[in-house]
Amino acid sequence: MTEHSKVIEEYLLTLYKLNRAGEPAKAVTLANRLDTSPPTVHATILRMQRDGLVNVTKTKELALTKEGQSIAEDIAYRHNLSEYFLCNTLGIPWYEVHQHAHLLEHAMTPIVVEKLAEFLGKPEFCPHGTPMPGTELPENTITLMEAKPGMTVEVAMIGEVLEDSVDLMKILHEHKVMPGKQHKVIEKTEVMRSISLESKEGPSSLPFHVAEKIFVIEIPKDKKRSIQP
């Protein structure tokens, strides 16, 4: 795979993630997410338009074409599958696999993807809870910011934008703010702009801008597990 095609794949993957998150996809957003200069982004978008991968709307938003969407879904699947393999088979720490998967996803041929998916049992979610293309989070999923004090919630997904920070992911890992783990929402503090949680691992506090990117499901009273240490 050429370096040029790796760049295009990263752009397509980023656009795919923005679309799934319901966020506007513009050139400036790509520049910020990919830490690339605006002129470079503009030149790459022109190439992607030429190749029939994206269209630019009247409002300057980037829309994946049918072909672009198909390729982006394939990249997303390879990325999520790589994370699952690295974490659950090779034992690479949960908070580090995102970075390694970015390298591995470009080197996987279709037959490798097919055989690896079979070997792993065709997982529907990556270790961070991100659904594979074609799979969705439960309808009753909300952000942690939407959870009210007193609620017990189970983490469903860590927003993909948070995965770019290994330091942040390590903190979430240490406090078990991970898919499948339950936490009780204690309070929200506007002054500190933070949300306090309690779990078996003890108390933790997250800033609002992080809580907005963590997706949870409220646990009914009859299904709550004890969160006492």
Give the whole-angstrom CA distance, residue 87 versus residue 63.
Answer: 32
User: Tens place of pLDDT for every residue, the chain, 229 residues?
Assistant: 444 588 999 999 999 999 988 888 999 999 999 989 999 999 999 999 999 999 999 999 999 999 999 999 999 999 999 999 999 999 999 999 999 999 999 889 999 999 999 999 999 999 999 999 999 999 999 999 999 999 999 999 999 999 999 999 999 999 999 999 999 999 999 999 999 999 988 999 999 999 999 999 999 876 666 555 4
Rg (CA), the chain: 19
Distances (CA, A) of 82 to 24, 89, 179: 27, 10, 17
Distances (CA, A) of 95 to 92, 195, 210, 211: 8, 21, 15, 17
Cβ neighbourhood burial of 163 (10 Å; 0-12, 13-18, 19+) = buried
Residue 4 pLDDT: 54
CA angle 215, 129, 36 (to 5 degrees): 85
Residue 24 pLDDT: 84
Give the whole-angstrom CA distance, residue 32 versus residue 34.
Answer: 6
Domains of the chain and CATH, by start: 1-134 (1.10.10.10), 142-223 (2.30.30.90)
Alpha-carbon 41 to chain mean position: 22
